[in-house]
Amino acid sequence: MSRIVLGVSGGIAAYKACEVLRRLREAGHDITVVPTENALRFVGETTFAALSGRPVATDVFTGASGIPHVRLGREADLVLVVPATADLIARQAAGRADDLLTNVLLTATCPVLLCPAMHTEMWQHPATRSNVETLRGRGVVVLDPASGRLAGADSGVGRLPEPAEITETAQTLLDADVAGRASGHDLAGLAVVVSAGGTREAVDPVRFVGNSSSGRMGAEIARAAALRGARVTLVAAHLAVPPPSSVEVRRVSTTADLAVAMTELATDADVVVMAAAPADFTPRTTATAKLKKSGDAGMTLELVQTPDVLMSLTRSRHAGQTIVGFAAETLPDEQSLARAGHAKLMRKGADLLVVNDVSDHKVFGMPDNRVLILDAAGVVDRVAASKAVVAHRILDAVLTHRATA
């Protein structure tokens, strides 16, 4: 359980803070809500108190003996502001302390995540741009707002990211290493294409050949890259987790579909990550009607190999492009994993290869992963952590590779 301060500033998206609060509570965190005076014009104190299960901290002077303006920020594991208005961002950038929330932000030593929401003009105004840069430079993580419907009839950039996405991101930032990477926007300007999930090859209209990939690792890489400022497209085969709402998603089903999408998107990509688990075989023919049993007879399915997408991407790689492959192996010790991984990296021509042991159902669909990251010279990193942390370490390896290539 972590201690999270949920700051809410005065914008129409304040009502969505309630959903973020509910989700974080369900995940078992201890939340104190700190609304600004204007936030309380949008959502009542009673709602925040009921959803958080504790009193709402509203001003610097109430309970002054407990010095909440210092204590809350100091003791928090994460301070999250949903929504962060242009005014709140400006006050924080200027280092002001004119209400309880800005006091908390000035005293916090933990990761801080701001989720801005405002009209497009306000987000794009040079004053806001410069305030956001200032805050990012100080280690604050500022989520880029989404595009879509804003208040009233307007639409454009400035919409609060989805509560589910904010909650996922907030929880990854409880890891201070992740927070440090996220604030720097060190992937800004890069186009990243990530594939994720298992492909399915139809046997007939109701059956398919598939695999156990949940797509979680690829989804985390896409989320992490977007958080670090990259323009990300997720090529999603069949996922058991929702794709991050911070990235563009292109849905595919079969290995052939995946090959088409990846080939097209790789043309403009600086970084390509093949985290998908393509089915290696496809039925020679697909029945157009459901196959029926005939008595006790078994059935033989003739399979042919699918194209190797990663290999064809590395063969047509353009200058300056970094291509990352994955290898799921059932080899328990590091030495044999590294050896198998190295052979696969060389055979497929990838710049980096992430290899893991998938025996004993330790990986598929699970929140954690244990991987080796290799380049042609050998192991560059080994990580046993949540898939979110593994995702960031893979991106670190990508940046190191690009800096030295």
- In the complex, the smallest distance separating the C-beta of residue 259 from ligand CTP, rounded to whole angstroms, is 8
Q: Which is nearer to ligand CTP, 301 or 304 (CB)?
A: 304
CA distance 163 to 246: 11
| Part in contact with ligand CTP (CB under 6 A); list of ranges 2-10, 25-33, 64-72, 325-333 | 325-333
Strands 146-149 and 155-159, bridge-based pairing: antiparallel
Q: Which is nearer to ligand CTP, 27 or 311 (CB)?
A: 311
Q: Which of residues 134-153 bind ligand CTP (CB under 6 A)?
A: none
- In the complex, the smallest distance separating the C-beta of residue 347 from ligand CTP, rounded to whole angstroms, is 8
Alpha carbon 90 to chain centroid, angstroms = 27
Q: Which is nearer to ligand CTP, 105 or 327 (CB)?
A: 327
Radius of gyration of the chain (CA): 24
Q: Which is nearer to ligand CTP, 123 or 326 (CB)?
A: 326
Instruction: Candidates 326, 357, 371, 395: give the one binding ligand CTP (CB under 6 A).
Output: 326
* Under 8 Å between Cβ of 99 and 59: yes
- In the complex, the smallest distance separating the C-beta of residue 304 from ligand CTP, rounded to whole angstroms, is 12
Instruction: Candidates 75, 308, 334, 381: give the one binding ligand CTP (CB under 6 A).
Output: 308
CA distances from 404 to 225, 320, 350 (A): 20, 11, 16
- In the complex, the smallest distance separating the C-beta of residue 201 from ligand CTP, rounded to whole angstroms, is 11
Q: Which is nearer to ligand CTP, 145 or 325 (CB)?
A: 325
Instruction: Select which of 38, 211, 356, 369 is catalytic.
Output: 211
State the number of binding residues for ligand CTP (CB under 6 A). 13
Q: Which is nearer to ligand CTP, 82 or 275 (CB)?
A: 275
Token pair, residue 233, equals 């497209």
| Part in contact with ligand CTP (CB under 6 A); list of ranges 115-123, 239-247, 319-327, 331-339 | 319-327
- In the complex, the smallest distance separating the C-beta of residue 343 from ligand CTP, rounded to whole angstroms, is 9
Mask for 231-270, x = binds ligand CTP (CB under 6 A): ------------------------x---------------
- Cross-strand pairs, 114: 81, 142
CA distance 101 to 7: 6
- In the complex, the smallest distance separating the C-beta of residue 308 from ligand CTP, rounded to whole angstroms, is 4
Residue 103 designated active-site = no
* Under 8 Å between Cβ of 364 and 347: no
| Part in contact with ligand CTP (CB under 6 A); list of ranges 43-51, 84-92, 306-314, 315-323 | 306-314
CB atoms near residue 136 (< 10 Å): 18
Residues in CB range of 85: below 8 A, 6 or more apart: 9, 10, 11, 38, 116, 117, 118
Instruction: Candidates 12, 287, 328, 379: give the one binding ligand CTP (CB under 6 A).
Output: 328
Length of the chain: 405
| Part in contact with ligand CTP (CB under 6 A); list of ranges 23-31, 39-47, 307-315, 379-387 | 307-315
Please name which of 136, 130, 132 lies closest in space to residue 111, comparing C-alpha atoms.
136
CB atoms near residue 358 (< 10 Å): 18
- In the complex, the smallest distance separating the C-beta of residue 330 from ligand CTP, rounded to whole angstroms, is 10
Residue 306 engages ligand CTP in binding (rule: CB under 6 A) = yes
| Part in contact with ligand CTP (CB under 6 A); list of ranges 75-83, 89-97, 138-146, 322-330 | 322-330
Q: How many CA atoms lie within 13 A of 289 on its CB side?
A: 2
The one-letter amino acid at 299: M
Q: How many CA atoms lie within 13 A of 62 on its CB side?
A: 8
The one-letter amino acid at 334: E
Collapsed DSSP state (helix, strand, coil) of residue 342:
helix
**Helical H runs in 208-293?**
216-227, 255-266
CA distance 21 to 29: 9
Q: Which is nearer to ligand CTP, 208 or 326 (CB)?
A: 326
Q: Which of residues 271-290 bind ligand CTP (CB under 6 A)?
A: 274, 276, 278, 280
Collapsed DSSP state (helix, strand, coil) of residue 95:
coil
- In the complex, the smallest distance separating the C-beta of residue 286 from ligand CTP, rounded to whole angstroms, is 17
DSSP state of 104: H
Q: Which is nearer to ligand CTP, 175 or 308 (CB)?
A: 308
Residue with tokens 């809350």: 72
**Residues of this chain that bind ligand CTP (CB under 6 A):** 255, 274, 276, 278, 280, 306, 308-310, 325-328
The residues carrying an active-site annotation are 211
